[in-house]
Amino acid sequence: MATIAYPIPGILRRPTSTAGVWGWITTVDAKRIGVLYGVTALIFLISGGAAALVMRLQLAAPDNTLVSAGTYNALFTMHGTVMVFLFIMPINAAFANFLLPLMLGARDVAFPRLNALSYWLFLGGGLLLHLSFLTGGAPDAGWFSYANLTEKPYSPGHGIDYWILSLQILGAASIMSSLNFIVTIINMRCKGMSFMRMPIFVWIVFIVSFLLIFSMPVIAIALVLLTADRFAGSHFFFASGGGDPILWQHLFWIFGHPEVYILILPPMGMVSEIIPVFSRKPLFGYRAMVLASVFIAITGFAVWSHHMFSVGLGPIANTYFATATMLVAVPTGVKIFNWIATVWGGQVSLKSPMLFALGFVGLFTIGGISGVMHSSPPSDLQQTDTYFIVAHFHYVLFGGGMFGIMGGIYYWFPKITGRMLSDGLGKLHFWLMFIGFNVTFFPMHFVGLNGMPRRIYTYTEDMNFGALNMLETVGSFIMGASFLILAYNMWKSFQGGEKAGNDPWDANTLEWSIASPPPEHNFDEIPEVRSERPLFDQKHPELAHHPPAAHAAAAHHGHRHIHLPAPSYWPVIMAAAVTIAAIGLIYKNYPVFGIALGMVIVTLYAWVKEPVFAETKE
Amino acid sequence: MAQQAAQHMDPALAEAMEHDHTSTGQPHRKVLMWAFLGSECMFFGALIGAFLVYQNSHAAGPDRHEVFSKIFLVSIMAFVLLLSSFTMVLGLAAARRGDQKMMTVWLLVTAFCGLFFIGSQGYEFYTFVNTDHMTPRTSNFAASFMILTGFHGAHVTGGIIWLVSVVLLVRLHPSQKKLPITKTMLPKFLSILSGIPQRQEGETLEPRPRHRRFTAFVRRQFQAPAPAAPVTSLSVEEYKARHLAEERILNVEIVGLYWHFVDIVWVVIFTVVYLFSAGAGK
């Protein structure tokens, strides 16, 4: 009964070719999707970085007139939105996509097509946000878009509409990919890989995925309410209509604070993979590390109002949120001490991934400490909305996030492409970025405490901010130059870099047990795991607490065809339809909106009826 | 023990089983649904939160005690929606028994209950707009109420489409005999409900009394599925066929999870929005 083949309508047949551009567009392979995420994120990084450099140029001297106040507003809004939603989140997703199945000993993620849809939706949302530039009027209300600024009378153009709908699409993409990761981790661990034997990076992706599925809905609803305000004439956040702008702040930060941990936890995971390998020691306190991450994630939902001390929520609320915020320092401290203890007494080799990882630990600690400073409301009231805060979160998100991500790139690039990056150029990149970063952001502590506010497009000469601002601008261009070195390093590697081999770093996790780049089916034989360092066990059976299984049951050696899901074109079609629907909604072009929405529904049925495998000629 | 059994298994069967193996033993799609419903809680949580913030900001429009004093229709709606959770369970039980006909009937009854709910909600909104002069522009109370219940209504609508789709995807599958429901299921169902025996050609009626036929029918709806043979005794083809059948049952189970969730959310909305307002302030 099962083998009766029913004819499948032509349109529902899956494409078979994985070659060329079309192969990339229709791919459902998590590794390829990971590469797509990574490349797209790096391109968006150029956009966000360029906005930052223009801002730094504008602020280099007092009373500068390079850009107008309005353009400056658009620049910092786009810089924040792009870096958060279009660089750090997707590049974290890139690593998660590429590494998750490999680290778990699986062939793919649980829902390959959903994974592809997440990517294409992310691309659609990112392009939609940038489209606002071309249509004259980028969003300009800051990345957290406080009400009333976002209401129709104050932002009559389409900029905010673009921002709302692209965030809505990006949020949906994030929820989908997180659900996918959660199911993959719960259900696709290879034999022997209990939760407490998962690589720490996998643990962190697991935790971050839960953060995403619980926090993204809140911003989605806030955006729905804002959309109603702008399109249907309600006034949820519109003070003069009886609305409460503070509600927007609450909803935004109930999402926004977990979001901060969504950004920083994956780089922490990468660093936790890198440091043990280059210290030749196991990760110190693996369990403590896992529990600390879980604790940080849970607390992430309980501290949002520390972004709102200046609202004046009253002493009880302020006391609670201050205390809860200080509590976050405890698990974070546990992590920092664990990293230090891992390096302590190890045979440290300062290759470029390790340099970035150590840079992460140092700079993130500075950012963490200034964070504890403004967890206290009296101190925060002095610092809020000044450059001190800008310094703080750039130490966390750039000094932490970006350094961790760069470490990840240097560490896993050989696995992804099969070729090494030059270690010399990597070190040059690190030092330039490290110096440029500190020259840019350390002085911001001082100008901030001296009273320079955030989000101003210029300042007068008698304020005495000029010298330090000039220094910051110089630093930011040193940082910018360091990324050119990365680009050159990658280009050189593609031109014929050293072949990486399976395991160039003598690492511990399963992705290094197979060829670089990995074959499409990942593992010829699904591995069996006995500890949280499975590859170490394989390489050093004499040291393992539990010697690896002798693979007696591996009867299938030799040629075996491994069925993988075939490519599909429905993810890209659906994402395109969703993006077009969003554009239709922005311009209130309801026929376009309706047709695109109809297309989404048609695609949904095609998606369901599509067979899992391509028809093979037998 | 399972490993010992695995060693004596047909290698092809072992491979097929490995292909469908999951770490928890639960199918991917079911785990996905549970995680998604967790996410949904936050969607509704944010909306209910916004309603609670604005429930007393009725501006110049009617206040909630006034609007929700007419609680009769919405109580019927709640009752029908909760009833549909019951019929959903019967639909899943029928699917598990392999009784595709009753599965179709119960899923369609569930969808019909949903349709009644949506229709009543449409009528409710119509009266709010026309009798109570309450639109999203009137007040934040009205807007937050309408977005919350509208969002829930959209979920019910999605559920109805999903239920009908599950039925259609099963009935329109090429393996199905092409007999329209009106000729097969509907007369039988009507005959059971009305107690008028259904005559078939060349068949003499059972002399069983009417109430016995009815109780037998009811009992059948709650029957547990027949115990399945152990997997290791199956051939590869039998295993794949069984797996395919399980996948079809899973389609019903997953839409069921979603449907129950939407019903439970309504219990919360009904209590927090309607009952609290109708009760308090009098």
Query: Buried b vs exposed e over B52-77: b needs ≥16 C-beta within 10 Å?
Result: ebbbebbeebbbbeebbeeeeebeeb
Residues 6+ apart with CB under 8 A from A182: A206, A209, A210, A213, B31, B32, B35
Q: pLDDT per residue over A87-123, tens digit each?
A: 999 999 999 999 999 999 998 999 999 999 999 999 9
Identify all chain A residues contacting B18, using CB atoms and an 8 Å cutoff. 526
Given this model, what pLDDT does residue B7 score?
A: 53
Given this model, what pLDDT does residue A279 score?
A: 96
Cα A568 from chain centroid (whole Å): 25
Nearest to B28 among A1, A183, A608 (CB): A183
* Total CB pairs under 8 A between chain A and B: 119
Distances (CA, A) of B227 to A109, B24, B96, B97, B230: 33, 22, 11, 10, 9
Structure-token match 């926090």, residue found: A215
Given this model, what pLDDT does residue A91 score?
A: 97
Q: CB distance B36–A179 less than 8 Å?
A: yes
DSSP conformation letters of A40-108: HHHHHHHHHHHHHHHHHHHHSSTT--SS-HHHHHHHHHHHHHIIIIIIIHHHHHHHHHHHHHHHHT-SS
Query: Buried b vs exposed e over A213-236: b needs ≥16 C-beta within 10 Å?
Result: bbbbbbbbbbbbbbbbbbeeebbb
pTM of the model: 0.92
**Whether A609 contacts chain B with CB within 8 A:** yes
Given this model, what pLDDT does residue A3 score?
A: 42
**Which tokens belong to A271?**
């660093």
Please give, rounded to a whole number of angstroms, the shortest distance from the CA of A220 to a CA of chain B. Answer: 8
Residue A472 CB coordination number (10 Å) = 23
Chain A nearest-CA residue for B41: A214
Q: Which of B41, B48, B140, B146 to mutate: most A Cβ within 10 Å?
A: B140
Chain B nearest-CA residue for A254: B46
Please give, rounded to a whole number of angstroms, the shortest distance from the CA of B277 to a CA of chain A. Answer: 21
Given this model, what pLDDT does residue B184 score?
A: 66
Question: What ranges do the domains of chain A cover?
Answer: 1-22+566-618
Residues 6+ apart with CB under 8 A from B162: B255, B258
Q: CB distance B50–A186 less than 8 Å?
A: no
Please give, rounded to a whole number of angstroms, the shortest distance from the CA of A183 to a CA of chain B. Answer: 6
Q: CB distance A233–B174 less than 8 Å?
A: no
Both ends of chain A: CA-CA distance in Å? 18
Contact of B143 with A228, CB cutoff 8 Å = yes
Given this model, what pLDDT does residue B241 score?
A: 84
Identify all chain A residues contacting B57, using CB atoms and an 8 Å cutoff. 242
Reduced 3-state DSSP string for B123-137: HHHHHHHHCCCCCCC
Each residue's pLDDT tens digit in chain B (282 positions)?
Answer: 444 454 566 777 877 777 778 888 899 999 999 999 999 999 999 999 999 999 998 888 888 888 888 889 999 999 999 999 999 999 999 999 888 889 999 999 999 999 999 999 999 999 999 988 888 888 999 999 999 999 999 999 999 999 999 999 887 776 666 566 666 667 777 777 777 766 655 555 555 666 777 888 888 888 888 887 787 778 888 888 888 888 889 999 999 999 999 999 999 999 999 998 886 554
Nearest to A236 among B45, B140, B151 (CB): B140
Q: What share of chain A is helix, strand, coil (3-state, %, to 5)?
A: 70, 0, 30
Contact of A140 with A155, CB cutoff 8 Å = yes
With 0-12 CB in 10 A as exposed, 13-18 as middle and 19+ as buried, what is B150?
Answer: middle
CA atoms within 13 A on the CB side of A60: 14
Identify all chain A residues contacting B151, using CB atoms and an 8 Å cutoff. 224
**Which tokens belong to B144?**
């937050």
ipTM computed for the complex: 0.93
Given this model, what pLDDT does residue A7 score?
A: 58
Contact of A97 with A38, CB cutoff 8 Å = no
Given this model, what pLDDT does residue A27 score?
A: 92
Question: Coil, strand, or helix at residue A179?
Answer: helix
Distances (CA, A) of A583 to A156, A162, A603: 17, 8, 19
User: If you average pLDDT over every residue of chain A, what do you get?
Assistant: 91
Low-confidence ranges of chain A (pLDDT < 70): 1-12, 544-561, 614-618
Given this model, what pLDDT does residue A557 score?
A: 47
Structure-token match 């993006």, residue found: A579
Chain B nearest-CA residue for A191: B23
The DSSP secondary-structure symbol of A460 reads: -
Contact of A568 with A120, CB cutoff 8 Å = no
Nearest to A242 among B46, B139, B147 (CB): B139
Identify all chain A residues contacting B258, using CB atoms and an 8 Å cutoff. none
Closest CA to B43 of A175, A472, A199, A293: A175
How many whole angstroms separate alpha carbon A10 and alpha carbon A317?
A: 61
Residues in chain B: 282
Q: Which fold has domain A1-22+566-618?
A: Helix Hairpins (1.10.287)
Q: CB distance A247–B47 less than 8 Å?
A: no
Nearest to B237 among A3, A182, A553 (CB): A3
**Whether A21 contacts chain B with CB within 8 A:** no
Please give, rounded to a whole number of angstroms, the shortest distance from the CA of B96 to a CA of chain A. Answer: 18
Given this model, what pLDDT does residue A617 score?
A: 41
How many whole angstroms separate alpha carbon B244 and alpha carbon B236?
A: 12
